[in-house]
Amino acid sequence: MASRYVATIVTFTTSDNTGQGITFNKTVTVEAVNTPQEITALTELSRKIYEARSAGLEITQINDLKP
């Protein structure tokens, strides 16, 4: 089952740790995924995929926010 969230992007700089919110105006659909088993021989691409999926969530859809 997918969950839907309305997101705000928050950016940080080294001089301002409080962050700056940017209105995203998108609906983000997130689904739970099985976390991958750790593997030792990783290509750069497989390392990025592993890092993204290791949290157990995957963004499956981003749509414009409809009021």
Range of the domain at 58: 3-64
How high is the pLDDT of residue 7?
67
CA distances from 23 to 35, 41, 65 (A): 30, 39, 11
Q: Going residue by residue through the chain, which has 67 residues, state the pLDDT in tens, using 9 for 90 and above.
A: 556 666 677 888 888 778 888 777 777 788 888 887 777 767 888 888 788 888 888 888 888 877 6
Count: domains in the chain: 1
How high is the pLDDT of residue 66?
73
How high is the pLDDT of residue 22?
79
